[in-house]
Amino acid sequence: MGDTDVSASERVYLDAASIEPLRPAAKDAYLAALDQGWADPLRLHSDARRARSLYDQARESVAGVIGCRPDEVTFVASGTEAVVRGLTGLVRGRARHSTLLVHSAVEHSSVLHTAEAHEAAGGGVRSLPVSAAGTVPVDAVDEALAAGDAAAIAVQAANLESGAVQPTGALAEASDRSGVPWCCDLTGVAGRLPPVPGWSVATAGANAWGGPAGVGVLAVRKRVRWRPTGPADDRLDPRAPGFENVPAIVAAAVALVEMESARDVRAAHQHALTELLRSEVARRVPDVDVIGPTGANRLPHVASLSFLYVDGEVLVTELDRRGFAVASGSACTSSSLEPSHVLAAMGALTHGNVRVSVTCSTTDDDVRRFVDALVSVVADVRSQVDGVRT
């Protein structure tokens, strides 16, 4: 397998689940806000008032997309920080009621690390299993929350590794019946699927919808008992101490609104692309595990496949040499030697994994060329393994 000369213009980026390329409108908004929104939004002079106005508009825009009040939205430095602050604050706010934190086995690593820290401090933790499709069984949620003795439950709206969309309606009902607040990571669905109702705390990262990296969203309902994880700061929002990055926040909001504006049309197009990829690879390659659910229960832009007798890192490297950028294994642990906790929890093949996530500009031709390249790479790699049929 030799090197392949691929020009920059011929490369195809298929790793939107890690970061969607910055939307042109977001870039324009960022540059404009650098001129108009650079001042301290806490001050009273005209430069500061312009910055504050831009900040407030961004807050209102994000709230409109995710379905909450503007004053419930806080901007932080990343989706990971939003999860840690949001979930820890929720558990702290409920400490007098319970110390039990319930979460699904396929949550983002930030939830798992938060649970580990909570357990190390003496709190209780319960992990809920998932089906082979990657979804949390509704009866398991009902059982975990029925007694009402949990401090909080953390279940993401959708998983960016398997593409599985969780039963959010049932989760909202279970949370409401039991009185146990629900912390929901919206990163995979914000601007891509209809708003998720019923959460108590929501989190998201702007990089997932074509906003700039370094902007996270933390939303806390007014009725929810929530305590900050550190000392308050005399800034616009005590939940997020530090100086507000107004230009980046504005760009994140613009990207989210743009993503939302063409949501249904884009989702239908991307779902067709990933269905094409999944079906063609399953037809043309033996010994492949097509990960995750089918139909509407899957994120439209994500497809995950695992191949027997193939190393995932080799697949990513060889595909990159052919001009295709994809991910392997867990989006959060790809640099680790440990197998993906998401795939393991699903009982799926954890080795030889490729996660493909199409962008807003991916075409049918891009996907067909990628499938041809993937089929070729898998055959080449397997040909070096004795006794493997290709």
CATH code, domain with 231: 3.40.640.10
Is 90 found in the same domain as 211? yes
Which stretches within the chain are classed as H helix?
A: 24-36, 46-66, 79-93, 109-120, 138-146, 168-178, 246-261, 263-284, 312-321, 341-346, 364-382
**Radius of gyration for the alpha carbons in the chain, expressed in angstroms and rounded:** 22
User: Which of 153, 157, 155 lies closest to 189, judged by CA?
Assistant: 157
Is 266 found in the same domain as 253? no
137 in any annotated domain: yes
Question: What three-state secondary structure class fits 203?
Answer: strand
Structural domain count, the chain: 2
**Distance separating alpha carbons of residues 211 and 251, to the nearest angstrom:** 6
The pLDDT assigned to 229 comes to 80
93 in any annotated domain: yes
Is 187 found in the same domain as 268? no
320 in any annotated domain: yes
The pLDDT assigned to 331 comes to 41
319 in any annotated domain: yes
Is 305 found in the same domain as 167? no
Report pTM: 0.93
Is 84 found in the same domain as 133? yes
State which of 223, 246, 261 marks the end of a domain: 261
**Distance separating alpha carbons of residues 252 and 212, to the nearest angstrom:** 6
Is 184 found in the same domain as 306? no
| Cβ atoms of 201 and 183 closer than 8 Å | yes
**Distance separating alpha carbons of residues 390 and 305, to the nearest angstrom:** 16
Question: What's the domain range around 226?
Answer: 24-261
| Cβ atoms of 50 and 43 closer than 8 Å | no
State which of 225, 243, 261 marks the end of a domain: 261
Is 273 found in the same domain as 245? no
DSSP 35-92: HHS-S-TTS-SHHHHHHHHHHHHHHHHHHHHHTS-GGGEEEES-HHHHHHHHHHHHHH
State which of 206, 233, 261 marks the end of a domain: 261
Is 13 found in the same domain as 45? no
- Angle (deg, nearest 10), helices 79-93 and 109-120: 40
Is 210 found in the same domain as 285? no
388 in any annotated domain: no
Is 286 found in the same domain as 211? no
Is 234 found in the same domain as 371? no
Mean pLDDT by 10 residues, the chain (390 residues): 67 97 97 95 95 97 98 96 97 94 97 97 96 96 90 98 97 95 98 97 98 97 90 77 93 98 97 98 97 92 96 94 88 59 95 96 98 97 74
**Distance separating alpha carbons of residues 384 and 304, to the nearest angstrom:** 24
CATH of the domain at 339: 3.90.1150.10
The pLDDT assigned to 240 comes to 82
The pLDDT assigned to 231 comes to 74
Is 325 found in the same domain as 285? yes
